C-alpha cells in the first residue's frame, strides 16, 4: 500500500514566510518603542544636570582684542611713506588701475636710474606691495634676454617713460609667456629711437612757437 506525499502549493509557503517576517518586524518595533522613552529621559536628565553645573559658574564678558582697541597703523604709515617718496603722485597715477593713461602690461617702458644707462624693455609684471611696488621689465642686451625688477618709489629711479603702448589690451596680469622665443619681443632699441625722434621734434616745434611769440 503506497501513500502519495502531501504537497503544498508554493504560494501558501510564501504567504506563511511573509506573515512570519511581519510578526518579527512588529515585535522589534514594539521593543524599540518601549526602550526609546527611557533613553530620551536619561539624555534629558544629563542635559539638565550639565546645564545646572554651568549655571553655577559666573561667565565674564569677552576681553576686547588689541586690534579692536588700536586699529592697524600700517595703512596710514604706507600712505605717509608714499606721499613722502612721491609728492606729486605721478608714479602712483602711472601704475594706477583707475586711470586710463596708466601703463599696462605689454607696454614698452624705459626706466632711468641715477647710476648706469636707462633700461628699456617690455612691461611683463607688476607686484603691488605699497611702498615696495615693483615692475618687471624684459629687454635684450648683447642678443641675450634680460629681466630686471625696478621699485617705482625708489629714490634711485629718476624717471619712468612709456615708449610704446600695446595696441590691444592683454588678457593676463603676468605676461610670462613672452619669455618663449615665439612671443619674445627681442630688442626694443628701434622703438626707443623712434620715441626719442618724436620727442625731439615736439620739443623743437614748441621752442619755435615759443620763440615766435617772444619776438612779437
Place of cell 503506497: 2
Task: Provide φ and ψ at 129, rounded to 5°.
Answer: -135, 40
pLDDT digits (tens, 9 = 90+) for 69-81: 888 888 889 999 9
**Per-residue pLDDT for 51 more than 90?**
no
Q: Mean pLDDT across the chain, nearest whole number?
A: 82
pLDDT at residue 66, rounded to an integer: 77
Q: Can you tell me the distance from the alpha carbon of 127 to that of 213, in angstroms, rounded to the nearest whole number? A: 47
Is residue 5 scored above 60 in pLDDT?
Answer: no
Mean pLDDT within 41-48: 78
Mean per-residue pLDDT for 141-147?
A: 89
What is the C-alpha to C-alpha distance for residues 153 and 133, in angstroms, rounded to an integer?
7
**Between the CA of residue 210 and those of 74, 177, 196, 205, what are the distances in Å?**
48, 47, 21, 8
Q: Tell me which of 134 and 16 has the higher pLDDT.
A: 134
Predicted pLDDT of residue 53:
80
Output the pLDDT for position 120. Answer: 93
Grid cell listed for 120: 628699456
pLDDT score for 98: 86
pLDDT above 90: percentage of residues in the chain: 40
Longest dimension (CA), the chain: 154
- How many CB atoms lie under 10 A from the CB of residue 133? 18
Domains and CATH numbers, the chain: 76-205 (2.30.30.790)
Q: What is the pLDDT of residue 214?
A: 38
Q: Is the pLDDT of residue 33 over 60?
A: no
What average pLDDT does the segment 178-188 reach? 90
Residues 6+ apart with CB under 8 A from 108: 120, 121, 122, 123, 162, 163, 164, 185, 188, 191, 192
Confidence category of residue 127, pLDDT binned at 50, 70, 90: very high
pLDDT of residue 203: 83
Least confident span in 32-36, 102-106, 206-210: 32-36
Sign of torsion over alpha carbons 15, 21, 23, 29: negative
Residue 168: CA count within 13 A, CB half-sphere: 2
Q: Is 171 exposed, middle or buried (0-12, 13-18, 19+ CB in 10 A)?
A: exposed
Amino acid 212: pLDDT:
47
Amino acid at each position: 500500500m503506497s501513500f502519495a506525499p502531501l504537497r503544498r502549493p508554493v504560494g501558501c509557503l510564501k504567504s506563511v514566510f511573509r506573515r512570519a517576517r511581519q510578526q518579527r518586524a512588529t515585535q522589534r518595533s514594539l521593543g524599540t518603542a518601549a526602550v526609546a522613552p527611557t533613553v530620551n529621559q536619561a539624555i534629558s536628565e544629563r542635559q539638565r544636570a550639565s546645564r545646572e553645573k554651568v549655571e553655577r559658574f559666573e561667565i565674564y564678558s569677552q576681553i576686547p582684542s588689541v586690534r579692536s582697541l588700536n586699529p592697524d597703523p600700517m595703512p596710514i604709515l604706507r600712505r605717509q611713506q608714499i606721499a613722502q617718496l612721491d609728492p606729486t603722485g605721478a608714479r602712483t597715477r602711472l601704475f594706477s588701475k583707475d586711470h586710463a593713461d596708466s601703463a599696462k602690461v605689454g607696454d614698452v617702458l624705459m626706466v632711468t636710474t641715477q647710476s648706469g644707462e636707462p633700461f628699456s624693455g617690455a612691461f611683463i609684471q607688476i607686484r603691488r606691495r605699497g611702498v615696495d611696488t615693483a615692475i618687471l621689465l624684459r629687454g635684450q642686451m648683447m642678443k641675450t634676454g634680460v629681466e630686471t625688477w625696478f621699485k617705482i618709489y625708489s629714490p634711485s629711479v629718476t624717471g619712468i617713460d612709456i615708449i610704446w603702448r600695446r595696441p590691444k589690451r592683454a588678457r593676463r596680469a603676468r605676461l610670462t609667456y613672452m619669455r618663449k622665443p615665439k612671443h619674445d619681443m627681442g630688442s626694443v632699441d628701434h622703438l626707443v629711437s623712434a620715441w626719442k625722434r618724436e620727442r625731439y621734434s615736439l620739443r623743437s616745434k614748441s621752442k619755435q612757437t615759443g620763440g615766435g611769440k617772444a619776438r612779437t
